[in-house]
Amino acid sequence: MQTDRGESRSLTFKIVLGMSTGLAVGVLLNWIGISGWIENVVVDGLLHVGGSIFMASLKLLVVPLVFVSLVCGTAALDDVAKLGRVGAKTLGLYLVTTAIAVSLALIAATIVQPGAGFELDSDASFEVQEAPSLADVVIDLFPSNPIRAMAEGNMLQIIVFAGLFGLGLTLSGEPGKRLLKFFGDLNSVIMRLVMLLMSVAPYGVFCLVAKTFALQGFGAMVPLLQYFLLVLGVLALHALVTYPSLLRVLAGLNPIVFFRNMRDPIALAFSTASSNATLPVTLETVEHKLGVGNSIASFTIPLGATVNMDGTAIMQGVATGFIAQAYGIDLSPTDYLMVVLTATLASIGTAGVPGVGLIMLAMVLRQVNLPVEGIALVIGVDRLLDMVRTAVNVTGDASVSCIVAASEGQLSREIFRDESEGT
Ligand code: ASP
């Protein structure tokens, strides 16, 4: 146990080292200029290939892990009423934390006024992708073909299918028990693969971060500095005040221990800018370092990675204020309320759509009659903000998972504390 903890600490150290060297190398390459062999061999060669292989290996574990882990989790839930209660609590908390996140963002944007006096560039343009209707989203929860759902990585459909399968397993007596043992073994093997992948994470993270910063000049940031810093400030406020308060008050947990145990998924979310790719590591951490029982973690974490995006909601709140100010349009109190409602519900409605943050922002802007082209104003710094807000998204999922588990008596406080001992 002691060595496990020691290994885990030194791995985190290596991941952070990979991230910081990646950042330094990326900034240096960008400063030298991306052309010739630097472009062909280093950025589009080594960094691109290394980063893509790492991302693909993380993603390849997502579908099998979610399915297997959730089948085990549902089969362990002894009654259906409990499933409904856990579902309602989880969704309720996801909605409340997102509403708090947008509200904080709107208040901050109103006080700081980052878009006041911003020079509008008339060439700005942005192609909007259509968001699906609410009816379609509900119908779409149910897969007509589970293999297709898995092939497409449709998380909500996989969750529904795995839940049904787990239920079938529990109701099947002896054959169900035999199969459940097999699923339990499969789960351990996949978790082992997650650990294996984590051992090469420092290199993967280095490639991803170096490539992003090599391509992403800081030039685009200068006119948007106020917007950029404001989004960062609200993200920090939400992560360091909202979640810790909820963890303390609703679950009696020490936030410092929580963050210490969450360092790997947070670092990975930052490097990959994808809650989905981080999912295997988040799930592993929530179960084995935060002590959340498998039946709660296997449901709350995949659901959260898909529908709970507080960091993204914060970007939307600040961006809405910024765009309104840049175009000189005043928002009424009703508009503010609409922004909170739309951004909160949009996070569920757009589940599973790629490039989700900007589609949600388009929906929010439309709702309050702001020009959707305004998105082009903030797109220049979006990639960098995406990294930080994904880290917040993942932290939010894990916080809610802990709170729900604590309320259901499914949180092992021993495991939660264990990781912090001796540090
Ligand atoms: N990259 C974010 C995530 O995967 C979503 C977004 O903000 O676009 O959590």
pLDDT in tens, 42-84: 889 999 999 999 999 988 999 999 899 889 888 877 677 787 8
Domain ranges of the chain: 2-418
Which ligand 1 atom is at minimum distance from the Cα of 315?
A: 7
Looking at CATH, the fold of the domain delimited by 2-418 is given as: Proton glutamate symport protein (1.10.3860)
Q: Is 373 in the pocket of ligand 1 (CB under 6 A)?
A: no
How far away, in angstroms, is 12 Cα from ligand 1 center? 23
Segment among 247-261, 319-333, 353-367 with least mean pLDDT:
353-367
In the 3-class helix/strand/coil scheme, how is the chain assigned residue by residue? CHHHHHHHHHHHHHHHHHHHHHHHHHHHHHHHCCCHHHHHHHHHHHHHHHHHHHHHHHHHHHHHHHHHHHHHHHHHCCCHHHHHHHHHHHHHHHHHHHHHHHHHHHHHHHHHCCCCCCCCCCCCCCCCCCCCCHHHHHHCCCCCCHHHHHHHCCHHHHHHHHHHHHHHHHHCHHHHHHHHHHHHHHHHHHHHHHHHHHHCHHHHHHHHHHHHHHHCCCHHHHHHHHHHHHHHHHHHHHHHHHHHHHHHHHHCCCHHHHHHHCHHHHHHHHHHCCHHHHHHHHHHHHHHCCCECHHHHHHHHHHHHHHCCHHHHHHHHHHHHHHHHHCCCCCCHHHHHHHHHHHHHHHHHCCCCCCHHHHHHHHHHHHCCCCHHHHHHHHHHHHHHHHHHHHHHHHHHHHHHHHHHHHCCCECHHHHHHCCCCC
Which ligand 1 atom is at minimum distance from the Cα of 393?
A: 9
pLDDT of residue 389: 93
pLDDT of residue 215: 87
Q: Is 392 in the pocket of ligand 1 (CB under 6 A)?
A: no
pLDDT of residue 252: 95
Q: Is the pLDDT of residue 420 over 80?
A: no
pLDDT of residue 281: 95
pLDDT of residue 2: 46
Question: Highest-confidence range of 217-226, 353-362, 394-403, by mean pLDDT?
Answer: 394-403
pLDDT of residue 422: 40
Pocket probe mutation, ligand 1, options 308, 314, 356, max atoms within 8 Å of Cβ: 356
Q: Is the pLDDT of residue 263 over 60?
A: yes
Provide the mean pLDDT of the chain: 88
pLDDT of residue 151: 93
How far away, in angstroms, is 207 Cα from ligand 1 center? 19
The protein residue with its alpha carbon nearest to ligand 1, atom 8, reads 357
pLDDT in tens, 330-367: 999 999 999 999 888 887 766 656 567 878 888 889 88
